[in-house]
Amino acid sequence: MSARDRILAKLRANSPSTVGNPPDVAAWYATHRIAENGADKAKRFRHFIELAHAEVYAVSRGGWLQKLYEVLSAKQIGKLLIAPGTAHGARVAAELPGLDIACPAYDTAIESWKPALFNDIPAAFTRARAAIAETGTLILWPDADEPRLMSLVPPLHIVLLDAASIHNTFYEAMQAEGWKDGLPTNALLISGPSKTADIQQTLAYGAHGPKELVVLLIGDEQ
């Protein structure tokens, strides 16, 4: 008998006879979380993610590239990792090199350039698929075009978010987007730059992931 069979046999021998009703998660959220309108959701998202030390800039659909350039200039960063297979990445790659920002592309497997990613890339630019107002959280589904390490390794992570894609709660996000029917290799919730309080409960940013998180929020009404 394998360990698997022994464990399952022990559990089965003593399983409760009644299982009980499934927990009603939907009812809890319906009675305990208000559904806000778009502007309020954006405001709440912004409030919480700023509390977690992220920078948020309201931008227009046509004007985010200008703000991206300003952010990089203000931080004196001349190199930005982009995802060339995405619309937003392609747009950056077309425009920013002319303004003296180098835009290396994440277009080969990590094995061929891991040290360079860790040591030579000061910033990366990705899109967020959606967000959560209740906790000030970005939702990213990295994929073949926009790989996982873009939002983790470079010290500055800049994210493009459409305010129309902000949900009230995590629960609402997964229900509305049908997550249970198919999750990607890696789905991520990101709620600020990396941090730790492991030394004497003193909060320090830039633990292992990005030291700074910047959100370009399209359609934020402010």
- Residues within window 111-140 making contact with another protein, judged by CB under 8 A: 111, 114-115, 118, 134-137
User: Which range binds another protein by CB under 8 A, 95-103, 105-113, 123-131, 160-168?
Assistant: 105-113
Give, as ranges, the residues between 53 and 82 that touch another protein (CB under 8 A): none
Q: Is 34 in the site for another protein (CB under 8 A)?
A: no
Q: Is 212 in the site for another protein (CB under 8 A)?
A: no
- Cross-strand pairs, 11: none
Give, as ranges, the residues between 145 and 164 that touch another protein (CB under 8 A): 147-149, 152-153
Q: Are 212 and 157 in contact (CB under 8 A)?
A: yes
60 token code pair: 């227009």
User: Which range binds another protein by CB under 8 A, 11-19, 36-44, 56-64, 66-74?
Assistant: 11-19
Residue choice 59, 68, 130, 210 for contact with another protein (CB under 8 A): 210
**107-110-115-119 Cα dihedral, nearest 10 degrees:** 50
161 token code pair: 């978010």
> How far apart are CB 161 and another protein at their closest, in Å?
16
Nearer to another protein, 87 or 118 (CB): 118
Residue choice 55, 69, 122, 170 for contact with another protein (CB under 8 A): 170
Query: Any idea what the Cα angle at residue 215 is, between residues 179 and 91, rounded to 5°?
Result: 90
d(CA 65, CA 61): 9
118 token code pair: 């860790």
> How far apart are CB 94 and another protein at their closest, in Å?
21
d(CA 74, CA 123): 13
